[in-house]
Structure formats: structure tokens, C-alpha cells
Chains A and B, each alone.
Chain A
């Protein structure tokens, strides 16, 4: 149980002071990133090793935030995503609660842990080898100096990676719940006005003004209303919402409560996608803690407000990200979208007025209520205010999670923050907005990342997934990839979406398989229009976008597949045939041993051969051969 309950705002303020004092007294804070990327890189093992090593070396660590009895006053914690996923596991060591003086280690392994404890923690020495080095060999001691972080502006991700997400006191210590306190001191109408003035638009893809949506629902007179948080984040290549749910869950709960106050709801639901078990756990823990501290339940902060939140796990259906499908899924039905109106604000969950917002939208709310609409508007550009998180992935040096003011140039994200294209390759395109979005070609990469400008180049900001593609990416293959996705995720309700995407996929597959014919491009264009016109929800309406945008900028690549029977990027395997050049082959059998399907045979010291019937064209042999004897 919590050591005390927060009954009134003064309790919140005194707890904040107490946490600040406890953190200020910490001689060293060790923060290990345990976001999804770092976990996959072994952060879990590093955490255990760290604990063991600190004990072994007799370093006295705090058993709790308020544990003052330890002489070394060292605190180690896990955090949510720290951003630079590509270089994980990330470890931050901050002396005297001052991250400006901190040391940032990357790619930390279990074998490094003893050395870190002995040298850095016990003696303040920096281990050069574990620092981040950029492409020019410059190394950085503190993450704040790394270009990747320098160009970012943290608002929703500010706490993520800096606090223990499973300790509500740490969130309160950095001003958490003061935004809610401000809201409760004013009126619902004032809260809505602040939200409207801030110009915040929904971060879930639609970009609808949040204040306006809340106002619709506030006007409904029903006694029961709901607040729903959309944590379905289905776009492939996007993981921002996961990071916020996992690393800063209290900010979402606080945002939902402010929304509840504004519209007059006493119950909230968070729908989390099934693929995010850590986010579910973290949110569950956060809800429990908020209840214990009295920040969920009856009479929150002495205001008389009542609010509770439940979690609903998804079961693996992309279309459930669509708001009406999501509500149907919470109700235990097949997640199929329905026509609007009625809008959820009028008739939503269990038929009651409901507002539904995205995770990142809610994470912005406490900051707006704490600092005001004007401060929020200091970031961004006309029509797109505030910051936006993006996940940058694909053929890029620094894959990871970032937050920048809206209106930042895409090229700055790719080159300055992302460190450029992998292996110094040439940029071909950046895919933005997932299956509803499009491919922005390299010569348009200076586009400003705001709602209108991105739309003008044929893509959408969407939820914020940026997938960087080099010259090795085939644009027809990319279009096929997204069509495969939407085709299999179509719920089947609208004929055009169900059948039209299937036909489009067939044509794209045919083109990639080298069986493209004259007229295919025109048929694709015709179908694209039909699918878009004949679908109820945005899944179908936007499904043709990846095809249309690649046709707009890379039509010649389609034509090369169809008429010249060539894949200019060399990606489509139908046009490839691997063979061994006998003169170059030394008969070492390395390729034969690596071939996953046993398609290579031969006698040692004599040229080997590839059985093209068995070959799956994976390219492992070519990558293995030291003599350049395999080509296609």
C-alpha cells in the first residue's frame, strides 16, 4: 500500500517536494533503458547483471526512492525508451541528479557491467569504448551533445527514459498531476477552451482538433460518458505509442482524467494492441498505483471528481485502430467499423457519448494544462502546433524514436538526427504514414513535417512512422508490401475494400513476379479510385495510397518491371538467378554449408553449382562467398 494518500492538491505538492529532495540527494542515478528495442538487445540480462555486480562490489544502493539510510546513495532503475534503439542497450549514469554531467553508454553487454561498476560508478572514470561514436569517429560523453538528441524537443517523451515508469512518485516529482490539479481548479468549459486554443490535433492519424472533439461530447447531456484511449498503434514501422505507454504511463492516465473532467465522464478505457505486452503491464501497474494514491477513484484531489480506468487488450486486428471498430472490440464483438454519424461523441462505447483519442494526444494534455496553450504553441507551425514523435527506421544509421517540433524538415530528421542512410547509400524515398501513407522521394525530402505539407506531397503524417529506404528498395515491392498488409487486414465489410485490394495485390504480385502486362498500371489506377470511393472507413479509403504515391514518383520503375522485365533495384527475386562463376569458385564449400535449403552442391576444391529449382534466392551464398564467385 502507498505510504500516504493524496487527498488534496497540497498533498501533491508536498510529495513533489519530498521526491525532488530525495532525487537531489542521490549521488548517482543509473538509468537503464528497457524499452522494446533495448530489451531485444539484451537489457533484461544487463539489468540483472548490474544488480548482482553492485552487490558483489559492496556498492550500497537505495532499496526505495525514499531510502535515506544508504551511505553511497546510489539509485539504479529501469526506464522506458531513451530513443536511440539502434545502439541499445542504453545506460545513463547521472551524478548528483544532474543529467548535464551524465555519462551515456551504448551497446552495453553483460560483460561490460563489472567494468562499469568498478570504473565509472566507484571511481568516476569514463569508459571510452562504450561511448557513442558518430560516423566521423567523434565520441560523445553525454547524450545531450549527440546530434541525434540535440535537434529534438521533448514534450510527450520528456519523462520517458528519465524516470522509473513503475513508480508514480517519480512522475509526481517532476510535476506530474499538477496539470490535473490546474484543470480541477478551473471549469470544464475552461479546460476545453485551453485545449481548443492550443490547436492540438489528434496524433492518431486523423489530425482532428482535440478541443473541438471534446466540446462535442461535453455538450451531450447523458449521465454516463466514456473516455477511451486508442493504444492500438497498428501501423507497421511505428512504435511511439508503445514507448509512451511503457515509459510514461502516468501521463496518459493524467490526460484521460483531464478529458473526463472536461466532458463529464467517470470511466475510461485504454485499448492496447496485443503485440505490446510490456505496455499492458506498465499501464496496469500505473493504474494500480494511481488508485492506491487516490489519484483514481472517488473525490480525486478533493474536487469531488470520480474516475476509474480499465485496460482492454486487443486480439490482433489492425482495423481495430479505427475508432468505431475499436469500440465494437471493447464490447466483445468483431471489430468492424460502422458508418458515422452517429459519431462516438454522440453515441460511442455501449451506446454512450464517448471521446476517443490517441495515446500521444493524451500525453500532450497534462503539459498543456500545466504550462498553458501559449507555451504549447511555441513549437510547431501554423495549423500544426506542438511536437510530434516519429519512429525512424529502415535503412538508417540511427534507428529509433524521436520527438521534434512539427514543421521540422524531413531531411533534417533523416540526415541530422538519423545520421543519414545506412552504409552511405543514396536515399531513395521515405515512407510516411504506414499503409495509409505514401513514399516521399529523395528530391522532396526537404518537406516540412506538418499535416498540410506532407499531404501535398502525397503522403500523410499519420501516426508518425518514417521508414527510410535506400536505392536497394524496389518501389513496386514496397507498394506490394502495403497492399498485402491492407488486404489481409481488411475486415471484409465493404466489397470494394475486400475484393478491390485483392485484385490490386494480384496485379502487383504479377508485376513483381515478372508477369506484368501492358495495361496493368492503368487497371491499378482504376481500381485505386474504386477502392477509395467504395469503402466506408479510412482503411479502404487510403489503402491505394502507397500504390498511387509510388506510381506518382516512380512510374518508370513499374514500367521497367512490366516492359523490360527488370527490377532496377535488384530486389524482386523473380528477375534474379544466382549462379556460381566456375573460374572464381575455389570449391571451399562455405556457400553450400550456409545455404538454408541445401541448393548448393559440389566436390571440395572443385567449382560448386546452384540448383536453381531448389534455390530460394535469399542471397546468403553471395554474402558468404569470399571470392565474389556468386552473382545474379
Chain B
């Protein structure tokens, strides 16, 4: 199902969206699965694709926008290549996750108030409880869960990723 369509290629976009519509349907209840597919493919919901989804499903763009902005998993802005999700569940809070978030933002060079670094290499987000409370504080780096994380450990993990990017 993956597509190599670049966002400036209308034909590619059309074909990609039509493959999604074929798979999930064009009913209203197909919308979230379609957006989920787009989000996981691009790491965000590009405007060009939302326009095409609206066209092919006949769901008004305003409704699509409403759904896209309601759920935390959808983002209208591009995210970093490496995703660092710091769990903000109760156990992680009690076990002091704050310094971890601060260290991660700092090492990733993420401007204050933002979640993505300017070079788009990293995004750091606080996320709702991951259910790995036994290992609090927990962090997910590119889909892999790490437990008992310290500011040191997250700094080392991020530096490792950066080294890989630069190599």
C-alpha cells in the first residue's frame, strides 16, 4: 500500500488516496482509518491529501478538519524524523519525568513552545499513559519502549540517533 508519491504530484496523490478508499471504504466511518493510514505514512496529514480525501469520499473538508484536529494522533504539521514520546502517565509523573522531557527538548535543540526541531530531525512529545507503568519513567523512541529512563539515558539515546543521522 505504500506509495512513492511526492506531494507535488497530483496523479500520485490521487492514486494513493484511491487505494486507501478502496481498502477502507468511502463511508463516514472509514474516515478515521483513512486518516490513520495517511498519518502513519507521512507522520502528518498533508493538506494536499486531505483535499483529495474529501474529493474522493464526498466528506466535506470542514468535517475532515474537525476530525483531524480533534484526535491527538493526527497532526497537521510535519513531525520530526525521529519521534521521542515521553510518557506522562501518573506513575511516570510521580517518578519524576519532568527532567527527562526538559533534557530531551534541550538535546534535540527544540525551540521553546515547539515540539519539532528546526532541522526536522526530532520531535519530542509528552504522551498519555503508555501502560508501561512498572518501568516508570518510560519513553518511546521511534516505537521502542525504554523503561527507568533518566535524563542521562535519554541524552545518550538522542545523541546516538544524531550520530547515526550524521554518519
Contacts and interface: CB of A to CB of B under 8 A. Distances in A.
B91 A237 contact: yes
Given A316-B72, A332-B27, A332-B67, A236 B36 contact: no
A275 B31 contact: no
Contacts of A334: 66-67, 70
Given A313-B36, A399-B91, A473-B94, A393 B134 contact: yes
A313 B33 contact: yes
Contacts of A39: 145
Contact of B94 (A88, A335, A394): A394
A85 B136 CA distance: 11
Contacts of A478: 94
Nearest to B150: A620
Contact of B30 (A237, A332, A618, A620): A332
A337 interface: no
B147 A41 contact: yes
B28 A332 contact: yes
A145 interface: no
B136 to A, nearest CB: 6
Contacts of B74: 315-316
B103 A85 contact: no
B23 interface: no
A331 B102 CA distance: 38
Interface stretch (B6-14, B113-121, B123-131): B123-131
A37 interface: yes
A597 B138 contact: no
Contacts, number: 157
Interface size class of chain B, counting residues whose CB lies under 8 Å from the partner chain: 35 or more
Nearest to B99: A618
A391 interface: yes
Interface in A156-195: none
B31 A394 contact: no
A317 B72 contact: yes
B41 interface: no
Given A41-B147, A618-B99, A467 B29 contact: no
A235 B99 contact: no
A102 B131 CA distance: 28
A616 B133 contact: no
Given A332-B30, A333-B28, A616-B99, A275 B145 contact: no
Contacts of B98: 618
Contacts of A239: 129, 131-133
Interface string A466-483: 010100010000100110
Interface in B62-115: 66-67, 70-74, 88-91, 93-96, 98-99, 102-103, 106-107
B129 A36 contact: no
A596 B106 contact: yes
Contact of B132 (A36, A233, A596): A36
A400 B134 contact: yes
A394 B95 contact: yes
Interface in A309-334: 312-318, 329-334
A315 B35 contact: yes
B131 A276 contact: yes
B34 to A, nearest CB: 9
A594 interface: yes
B67 A333 contact: yes
Nearest to B127: A275
B29 A332 contact: yes
B49 interface: no
A40 B90 contact: no
Contacts of A473: 94
Interface string A268-308: 00000011100000000000000000000000000000000
Give the 7 A-B CB pairs with smallest separation, nearest first. Answer: A85-B134, A618-B99, A239-B131, A316-B72, A315-B71, A393-B91, A237-B90
14 contacts: A40-B145, A84-B134, A86-B134, A236-B89, A237-B129, A238-B129, A313-B32, A317-B70, A330-B29, A333-B67, A334-B70, A393-B89, A394-B90, A399-B91
Given A37-B134, A275-B128, A275-B131, 20 more contacts: A36-B131, A36-B145, A37-B133, A40-B146, A41-B135, A236-B90, A239-B132, A275-B130, A313-B33, A315-B36, A315-B72, A316-B74, A316-B128, A317-B70, A391-B133, A394-B94, A481-B93, A597-B102, A619-B96, A620-B151
Interface of A: 36-37, 39-41, 84-86, 88, 233-239, 242, 274-276, 312-318, 329-335, 391, 393-395, 399-400, 431, 434, 465, 467, 469, 473, 478, 481-482, 485, 491, 594, 596-597, 616, 618-620
Interface of B: 27-33, 35-36, 66-67, 70-74, 88-91, 93-96, 98-99, 102-103, 106-107, 127-136, 138, 145-147, 150-152, 155
